[in-house]
Amino acid sequence: MRCPRCQNLEDRVLDSRTVRDGQAIRRRRECIQCNKRFTTYEYIEPEEHKVRKRDGRLELYSREKLLKSIRIAFAKRPFHLDQLEQIVNQIENEIFVGENEISSSKIGELVMSIISKIDEVAYIRFASVYKRFQETGDFRSEISILRKENS
Ligand SMILES: [Zn+2]
């Protein structure tokens, strides 16, 4: 770590301890050239997951965004936010198994398959947004597919 005073690259660690409930390591360092003391922190770098959009663009996966779309689908349905968080956890567990990139359509399919087993109204809402139904005919066939699957 470059010394903030003399720019020398060599230092020695005087003290090293876990802080912030184990989320970080704090190191007290001393420059071996000018003896300036300074502090550094070490964190685990969060894993970055990426989503491949339909138009080919790659964007950072956002849990917030996924949760929001699920909350919209479940609006006024008898479910707590905790339960919706659980759904997101379940989705995340399935989509990021050893992969850092997933297509948005794969996420959509997964959300639909999970929600369809939980709440029909939420499922239809989500599916209608997701698939951008143009005609009521499409909407009806989706409902009949769901009825068959659940019966
Ligand atoms: Zn120095």
- Closest residue by Cα to residue 10 from 35, 31, 34, 28: 31
What average pLDDT score do residues 102-130 get? 90
Read off the tokens for 5. 């005073």
pLDDT tens string 51-92: 988 888 999 998 899 999 999 999 999 999 999 999 998 888
Give the separation between CA 125 and CA 150, rounded to whole angstroms. Answer: 17
| Residue 6 domain flag | no
Structural domain total, the chain: 2
Assess contact for 39 and 27: CB atoms under 8 A: yes
CA of 26 to the centre of ligand 1 (A): 19
Which domain does 129 fall in, by range? 50-150
Whether residue 93 is found in the same domain as residue 137: yes
- Asked if the structure places residue 5 within a domain, the reply is no
Q: What is the pTM of this model?
A: 0.57
**Residue found by looking up tokens 């080919």 in the block:** 56
Lowest mean pLDDT among 5-9, 26-30, 92-96, 111-115: 92-96
Q: List pLDDT tens digits, range 10-25.
A: 999 999 999 988 888 9
Query: 31 burial class (0-12, 13-18, 19+ CB within 10 angstroms)?
Result: buried
Read off the tokens for 119.
Answer: 């709440």
38 Cα to the center of ligand 1, angstroms:
10
Domain contains 129: yes
Tell me if 29 sits within 8 A of 15, measured CB to CB: no
In a domain, 79, yes or no: yes
Beta strands in 20-151 (DSSP E): 24-31, 37-43, 50-52, 58-60, 101-103
Residues within 5 Å of ion ligand 1, judged at the Cβ atom: 3, 5-6, 8, 31, 33-34, 36
Q: Of 142 and 35, which is predicted with more confidence?
A: 35
